[in-house]
Amino acid sequence: MKYRILGKDLKVSAVSLGCMGMTHAYGAPSDEKEMIERIHEAFDLGYTMFDTAECYTGTNPDGSTAFNEELVGKALKDIRDRVVIATKCGVFWDVNGKMVRDSSPASIRRSVEGSLTKLRTDHIDLYYQHRIDENVSPEEVAETMKELISEGKITHWGISETNEEYLRRADAVCPVTAIQNRYSMITREYESMFPVLEELNIGLVAFSPLANGFLSGAYTKNDHFTDPLDFRSHMKQYTEEGFDAYSELLKLIHSLAQDRGVSDAAVSLAWMIDRKPYIVPIPGTRKSGRLKENASAADVNLTAEEIEKIDSLLNQL
């Protein structure tokens, strides 16, 4: 595994692990013991940053709540000093399952205490504001994060799904280490922020780097997701029209993967890693084989000609 620096000094694996799907967004949570084993396996493969959030919850078969942070905390407690834990605050689900945003100082402080307990740690390495709260200024959020850093409860902070203006205003109060935005071959609107990230020395942690598995080559137009709790059941790429629209891209990825004897996912992630030295994808999985495939992306070196071919095709989509 290769490593990268986010912001000034946060060293993380070039491919890190998004833990959300183990309990949230992909149907019923998986068996906790099995997911703890999966996280241990990821660490053995070289993954060092593990991403979770306060709101990543699911319902176990017995009706109890599966807290993703508790899962991550249990899995990492014996190797805590050798890993980076990233979690998030400011997003909650109401009784109807609707997202509620609250980034007030009081809310952030309640959340950080709850996360520290669930994660079984005395500090959080990278603490994100999960979504922008229009009722709270970026300066007020940044000032709260600055206080938490001075108190030793967090060591770095970031913002998820931010824009340039909000980022600049927040960073001016307390330097931001990373943003976490949706980014993949088929979701590229945040490339417009690359110049400001380079100017301010801020990393980009890319969530859904495989477009929720679409770029992994594991699915075809014959695959259907009907569980309403599975995010993929609502995504345009997982329709017959979506597969048709990206058919040439999927063929190119598969061809490059076959030439190297690696997975389609590894090529897709390698494209992202090659793009900028401050980009760190956090693909998620519940499967051992996928963990290995994703980790191998750090060692896949696409040629300039291959990257140009991919980019040329992407620019036509």
CB atoms within 10 A of CB 103: 24
Quote the distance between the C-alpha of residue 53 and its chain's center: 10
Contact status, residue 69 vs residue 54, Cβ threshold 8 Å: yes
Q: What is the CA radius of gyration of the chain?
A: 19
* 219 catalytically annotated: no
- Compute φ and ψ for 147, nearest 5 degrees: -65, -40
Cβ burial, residue 25 (10 Å; 0-12/13-18/19+)? middle
Question: Which residues does 52 contact at the CB level (< 8 Å), separation at least 6?
Answer: 19, 20, 68, 69, 71, 72, 85, 86, 87, 88, 119
Q: Please report the DSSP string for 49-104 in residue order.
A: EEE--TT-EEE-TTS-EEEHHHHHHHHHGGGGGGSEEEEEESEEE-TTS-EEE---
Q: Which amino acid is at 152?
A: G
Q: What is the bridge-based pairing of β-strands 57-59 and 65-67?
A: antiparallel
- Compute φ and ψ for 281, nearest 5 degrees: -75, 145
Q: What is the bridge-based pairing of β-strands 10-13 and 3-6?
A: antiparallel
Nearest Cα neighbor of 12 from 54, 46, 36, 40 is: 46
Give the CB-side neighbour count of residue 291, counting CA atoms within 13 A: 21
The single residue of 26, 47, 56, 190 carrying the catalytic annotation is 56
Positions annotated as catalytic residues are 56
